[in-house]
């Protein structure tokens, strides 16, 4: 439909085609790939003591840093910053009010110090005051023109090719794949099917409150500047239970924000699978973990050893990171 999505559609189609012949072609033949293949074989083989019926094959994926780039900051933060700048002429008070002042002055150091409270203020101010359809159009239009500051490409082209292939491979083995992200549910839903093959009804995320209204006889959902649900950390198992209704048998993340989802999935008895994407490739992407302001991987990295989760070494386990390589 839009130029920003044309390449993404090709990525998903390519992943589906390649996975059908050679599983996970963008993965090196190391322990991470072998662990995935062994798990899928065990839970899909009828007669196996670890067999899982198709209706119970639920796999949940974090988004930022797990399925696409989250440095130098989450994509939705870049979107919120651009929205604040676009709306600034209507809000002269923002010039002297944090965190808006920091955004308008491109002072990212001060902005980072405002923490989760500051980021929440930006989201509420820039994502509310419109219908859900109007917001969806704004997101699609922004993705069609916005470019990543390092790669100079549309954000939708910065999906990790190995993970797109993994999503397709799981679905080819009758798994149902879900995104469970701290990002906004209505920010993700307009494009996840095109980029990952994950339909909007399989996206779980943070949300602001909405209100039903009749406007000139037309039913609308109006977005309010009030937080509804934060789908991060301990909120992820709650969101999974509320929106999916089944405990996953496999979970994939990259940060401490995914720790509770991985615990909820893997510590439930029976054969389960947990995987963490460890960003170790500064040349092709980014290298970060314990001290990163975004996507911090500290407690979950230690927990991976204790719980025998698979840790993907991006530099060594992935032949390529992006489809355009």
Is it the case that residue 308 has pLDDT exceeding 50?
A: yes
DSSP string, 161-225: HHHHHHHHHHHHTTPEEEEEEEEEHHHHTTTHHHHHS--GGGEEEEEEEEEEEEETTEEEEEEEE
Q: Is the pLDDT of residue 19 over 80?
A: no
Distance CA 135, CA 67 (A): 23
In this structure, the strands spanning 218-229 and 250-253 are: unpaired
Q: How confident is the model at residue 2 (pLDDT cuts 50, 70, 90)?
A: very low
pLDDT over 80 (residue 4): no
Rounded to the nearest 5°, which phi and psi values hold at 156?
-70, -10
The pLDDT score that the predictor gives to residue 8 is 42
Separation CA 201–CA 193 (nearest Å): 10
Task: State pLDDT tens for residues 133-143.
Answer: 999 999 999 99
**The pLDDT value given to residue 5:** 41
* β 273-280/310-313 pair status: parallel
Contact by Cβ (8 Å): 318, 162: yes
Of the candidate ranges 14-18, 77-81, 264-268, the one whose mean pLDDT is the lowest: 14-18
Average pLDDT, the chain: 94
The arithmetic mean of pLDDT across residues 65-79, rounded, is 96
**Residue 89 CB-density burial (10 A; 0-12 exposed, 13-18 middle, 19+ buried):** exposed
d(CA 160, CA 164): 6
The structure tokens listed for 212 are 């039903």
Q: What is the pLDDT of residues 245-283, one digit of tens each?
A: 999 999 999 999 999 999 999 999 999 999 999 999 999
pLDDT band at 285 (very low <50, low <70, confident <90, very high): very high
- Beta strands (DSSP E) in the chain are 58-61, 176-184, 203-215, 218-229, 250-253, 273-280, 287-288, 310-313
Using one digit for the tens of pLDDT, what is the confidence trace for 108-118? Answer: 889 888 878 88
Instruction: Give helix then strand counts, H and E, for the chain.
Output: 14, 8
Confidence of residue 12 (pLDDT cuts 50, 70, 90): low
**Which region among 14-23, 163-172, 196-205, 299-308 has the lowest average model confidence (pLDDT)?**
14-23
Q: Which pLDDT score, from 0 to 100, does residue 205 have? A: 98
**At 54, is the pLDDT very low, low, confident or very high (cuts 50, 70, 90)?**
very high
Identify the structural domains of the chain with CATH numbers, from first to last: 3-70+156-317 (3.40.50.1000), 75-145 (no CATH)
**Structure tokens given for 183:** 């990002």
pLDDT recorded at residue 7: 42
Region of 106 please: left (phi>0), alpha (psi -120 to 50) or beta: left
User: Residue 1 pLDDT > 50, yes or no?
Assistant: no
DSSP string, 131-157: BHHHHHHHHHHHHHH---TTT-S-GGG
For residue 287, pLDDT beyond 60? yes
Q: Name the one residue in this structure whose structure tokens are 């509310």.
A: 128
Q: Span 211-232, mean pLDDT?
A: 96
Residue 310 reports pLDDT greater than 90: yes
Residue 6: pLDDT over 80:
no
**Model pLDDT, residue 15:** 59
**Model-level pTM?**
0.93
Would the pLDDT of 298 be above 70? yes
Is residue 204 predicted with pLDDT exceeding 50? yes
The CA-CA-CA angle for residues 246, 156, 241, to 5°, reads 15
């Amino acid at each position: 439909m839009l130029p920003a999505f044309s390449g993404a559609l090709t990525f998903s189609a390519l992943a589906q085609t390649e996975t059908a012949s050679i599983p996970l072609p963008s993965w090196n033949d190391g322990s991470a790939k072998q662990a995935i293949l062994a798990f899928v074989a065990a839970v899909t083989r009828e007669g196996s003591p670890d067999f899982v019926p198709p209706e119970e094959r639920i796999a949940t994926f974090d988004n930022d840093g797990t399925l696409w780039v989250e440095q130098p900051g989450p994509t939705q933060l870049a979107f919120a910053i651009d929205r604040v700048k676009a709306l600034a002429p209507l809000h002269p008070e923002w010039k002297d009010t944090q965190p808006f002042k920091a955004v308008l002055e491109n002072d990212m150091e001060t902005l980072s110090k405002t923490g989760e409270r500051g980021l929440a203020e930006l989201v509420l101010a820039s994502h509310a005051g419109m219908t859900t359809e109007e917001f969806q159009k704004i997101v699609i239009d922004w993705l069609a023109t916005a470019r990543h500051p390092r790669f100079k490409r549309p954000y939708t082209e910065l999906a990790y090719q190995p993970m797109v292939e993994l999503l397709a491979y799981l679905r080819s083995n009758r798994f149902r794949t879900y995104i469970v992200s701290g990002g906004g549910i209505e920010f993700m839903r307009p494009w996840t099917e095109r980029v990952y093959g994950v339909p909007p009804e399989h996206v779980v995320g943070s949300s602001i409150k909405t209100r039903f209204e009749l406007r000139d006889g037309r039913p609308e959902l109006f977005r309010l500047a009030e937080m509804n649900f934060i789908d991060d950390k301990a909120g992820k198992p709650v969101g999974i239970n509320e929106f999916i209704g089944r405990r996953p048998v496999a979970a994939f993340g990259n940060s401490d924000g995914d720790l509770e989802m991985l615990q909820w999935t893997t510590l439930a008895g029976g054969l389960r699978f947990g995987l963490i994407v460890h960003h170790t490739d500064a040349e092709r992407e980014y290298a970060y973990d314990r001290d990163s302001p975004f996507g911090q991987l500290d407690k979950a990295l230690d927990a991976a050893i204790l719980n025998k989760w698979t840790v993907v070494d991006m530099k060594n386990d992935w032949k390529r990171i992006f489809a355009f390589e």
